[in-house]
Amino acid sequence: MEDKPDILIYDLGGCEGCPLSILRVYPDLRGIANIHTHHLGEIDLDRRYDIAVVTGPICINDPDSIDVLRRIRRNTDTLIAYGSCASVGGITLFCRGGQEPRPEHRTFQPLSSIVDVDYAIPGCPPAPNLFLALVNSLRSGRGYFLELFAAVARARRLSGFDLLDTIVLTGLCISCGACIISCPTNALQMIDRKPDLIVEKCIRCGTCCIRCPRFTQILVQRYRAGKEVV
Q: Which of 135, 153, 216, 229 binds other proteins (CB under 8 A)?
A: 216
Pairwise CA distance, residues 12 & 54, whole Å = 7
Choice between 2 and 157, CB closer to other proteins: 157
- The answer to whether 106 touches 66, Cβ cutoff 8 Å, is no
18 lines the binding site for other proteins (CB under 8 A): yes
In sequence order, what are the beta bridge partners of 196? 189
Choice between 165 and 181, CB closer to other proteins: 181
**Residue 83: C-alpha distances to residues 3, 24, 126 (Å):** 26, 15, 6
Pairwise CA distance, residues 51 & 7, whole Å = 5
Choice between 2 and 200, CB closer to other proteins: 200
Pairwise CA distance, residues 174 & 195, whole Å = 10
Choice between 27 and 141, CB closer to other proteins: 27
**Residue 60: C-alpha distances to residues 31, 49, 52, 195 (Å):** 36, 24, 20, 34
Choice between 2 and 42, CB closer to other proteins: 42
Q: Which of 3, 144, 191, 226 binds other proteins (CB under 8 A)?
A: 144
| Interacting residues with other proteins between 115 and 134 (CB under 8 A) | 121-130, 133-134
- The answer to whether 87 touches 121, Cβ cutoff 8 Å, is yes
207 lines the binding site for other proteins (CB under 8 A): yes
114 lines the binding site for other proteins (CB under 8 A): no
Q: How far is the CB of 77 from other proteins (least distance, A)?
A: 21
Q: How far is the CB of 116 from other proteins (least distance, A)?
A: 20
Q: How far is the CB of 137 from other proteins (least distance, A)?
A: 8
Q: Which of 40, 70, 71, 77 binds other proteins (CB under 8 A)?
A: 40
Strand stretches in the chain, DSSP E? 6-11, 34-37, 49-55, 58-59, 76-82, 108-109, 119-121, 188-191, 194-197
Contact segment (CB under 8 A) with other proteins among 56-64, 71-79, 109-117, 154-162 equals 56-64
Q: How far is the CB of 72 from other proteins (least distance, A)?
A: 14
Contact segment (CB under 8 A) with other proteins among 1-9, 34-42, 72-80, 153-161 equals 34-42
Q: Angle CA(129)–CA(121)–CA(52) in degrees, nearest 5?
A: 85
Pairwise CA distance, residues 147 & 219, whole Å = 10
User: Strand, coil or helix: what is 153?
Assistant: coil
Q: Which of 147, 157, 161, 196 binds other proteins (CB under 8 A)?
A: 147
